Structure 1
Amino acid sequence: METARRLRNEGFSVTPHLPARSFTGRQELKDLLHQYRNEADVTHALLLAGGAQSTRGDLLSSFDLIDTGLFDKLGYRQLHVAGHPEGSRDIDPDGSTQNVDAALLRKCEFAKRTDARVVITSQFLFEVQTLLDWASRIETLGIDLPIHIGLAGPAKLQTLIKYAIACGVGPSVKVLQKRALSLSRLLLPYEPTEMAQKLEAYKFANPSSRIERFHMFPLGGIEPTVQWCRQQMKAQ
């Protein structure tokens, strides 16, 4: 909570990741949400299902988190739901996007009845065009929520590849694997600067895009990610 409070005081938007299956039940979720609100004035949250192997109670999906009603009751003003630009084999084992698309459409309906603002936060990945194609495709389905693009924060390449594989990052992980073939680049930490610049240029050229901002995944640690963000803000 101390880190969350410090970052809030510095003007950063803090969005705790809440995997449903990591909670023993409603009471544990409620206690944690109270802590974030009362101790760090956090009003955003990312609602996730979590890994199938991590189930600890009867909360199994982001919809189970939603159905508790706790977020509206406790004054959470912005709720993030997951987007999967490369699909998800856990959700759609057949390689389609049928279930992930249906889930987003259902979350659009939820957005109409909650007091909170609902946004889609994408899984991190490493190809800009894949993101843009996905954002365009879901809009044609009637999914009209704002989109926050997931970026992997600075990290050692080996660490990033490990997280990418564990989190089910799809074809774009090849970008990292290709980078790993170069010894000089293998020794340097990955930074999302190039992706961020390309996405900013796209947004500037397409202001009506539903892409709104970045969501940082601090895979190499919170402090390196915060330092990178500070550098980007100074450069603007």
Structure 2
Amino acid sequence: MPISTPTGSPAAVGLLTGFSLEMTGRDVPALREAAPQIPRGTRINVTFLGHEDPALRLAAARAVREHGFVPVPHISARRLRSPGELEEFLSDLAEAGAAEQVLVVGGDPGAPEGPYEDSLAVIRTGMLQRHGVRGVGIGGYPEGHPAVDDDVLWSALVAKTAALREQGLEPTVITQFGFDTRPVLAWLAEARRRGVDAPVRIGVPGPAGARRLLGYARRFGVATSAGIVQKYGLSLTHLLGTAGPDRFLCDLAEGYDAGVHGPVLLHFYTFGGLGATAAWIREFGAHGAAS
């Protein structure tokens, strides 16, 4: 079933300025196809998946740069087996001209595969800036994390932003995606109250099949109550068709207050649909501007 034509208010369209996207190491062909629809200079994150080797991720980061975009390679702390592995990956990124911006996350493994327990441990090595990194993305969790207490998440967020600033690195927070803007806006206000003044890229689920969206939501602990999902345009019983995030963006724009929520940008999780997401953003912007 095709995606319906997205429409939005001028305020919602305004949120698209400076948006970022996400891809995997295997999405280079999709990137090549979608490139004409993506504004030059757009940040494109390259995920750190356990089944993709460093060479594949490096090739994807290089392809992002060669197409005129800004690569943001992911570094998964608990998947790194040694300081040497981190050093080699950063060195390769620098050689490819893809080391200026990175995202450092803890990663999926419950136990570290090497010396880095979390993303803060990687940040504190000093290796990032030695290899030309200037900006570092870190994770934010408006709906919490299924394996980490909220108090721990807040302490880590404050500590990481402080550590990055102390090392002369510019922090950006990228949040997990969600379907409900209420916890997002509440989390933003609380982050600012706690002194986290870094720009925040709000995670937005790109257009995808309902079954896939709900699968990702369950995996990452994102709320999928019947009311929230129906508001988004999905059905828990009829998992057919495709939905776009126009309702989410319109609600976000309506509730956003720069004085309370600080600087905000958008980060689209593409779920393997890089081209579909780029096309949706372009249509949303065009129809919203014309309304």
Distance 2:99 2:246 in 1: 27
TM-score, normalising length from structure 2?
A: 0.68
Distance 1:41 1:233 in 2: 29
Correspondence for 1:224: 276
Correspondence for 2:78: 21
In structure 1, the gaps of 5 or more residues are: none
Correspondence for 1:130: 183
Correspondence for 1:114: 167
Deviation at 1:48, TM superposition (A): 0.8
What amino acid sits opposite 2:157 in the alignment?
L
Deviation at 1:31, TM superposition (A): 2.2
Q: 1:52 aligns with which of 100, 104, 109?
A: 109
Alignment of 1:198-213 (within 5 A): 198-203=251-256, 206=258, 209-213=261-265
Q: Deviations over 1:61-105 (max 9, x none)?
A: 00111122121111112111111111123111xxxx211111112
Distance 1:124 1:200 in 2: 16
Deviation at 1:142, TM superposition (A): 2.3
Deviates more, 1:19-28 or 1:193-202: 193-202
Correspondence for 1:70: 127
Correspondence for 1:215: 267
Alignment of 1:4-15 (within 5 A): 4-15=61-72
CA RMSD of aligned residues (A): 2.6
For residues 15 and 85 of structure 1, do their structure 2 counterparts lie closer, same or farther at Cα, with a shift above 3 Å needed? same
Q: 1:91 aligns with which of 117, 137, 148?
A: 148
Q: 1:144 aligns with which of 172, 197, 201?
A: 197
For residues 33 and 222 of structure 1, do their structure 2 counterparts lie closer, same or farther at Cα, with a shift above 3 Å needed? farther
Deviation at 1:201, TM superposition (A): 4.6
Q: Deviations over 1:99-157 (max 9, x none)?
A: 11111121232133122210111111111111001111122222222211111222222
1:104 partnered with 2:157: yes
What amino acid sits opposite 2:261 in the alignment?
S
For residues 176 and 207 of structure 1, do their structure 2 counterparts lie closer, same or farther at Cα, with a shift above 3 Å needed? same
Deviation at 1:13, TM superposition (A): 3.8
Distance 2:145 2:173 in 1: 15
What amino acid sits opposite 1:217 in the alignment?
Y
In structure 2, the gaps of 5 or more residues are: 1-57
Distance 1:177 1:59 in 2: 41
Distance 2:90 2:230 in 1: 38
Distance 1:6 1:45 in 2: 15
What amino acid sits opposite 1:219 in the alignment?
F
Distance 1:68 1:119 in 2: 19
Conservation of the 8 A alpha-carbon contact between 1:150 and 1:216? yes
What amino acid sits opposite 2:264 in the alignment?
E
3-state SS, counterpart of residue 221 of structure 2: coil
Deviation at 1:2, TM superposition (A): 4.4
Distance 2:81 2:73 in 1: 17
Distance 1:104 1:18 in 2: 17
Distance 2:63 2:281 in 1: 15
The one of the two structures with greater contact order (alpha-carbon pairs below 8 A, sep at least 6) is 2
Identity of aligned residues (%): 26
1:180 partnered with 2:235: yes
Distance 1:234 1:37 in 2: 37
Q: 2:209 aligns with which of 132, 138, 156?
A: 156
Conservation of the 8 A alpha-carbon contact between 1:122 and 1:147? yes
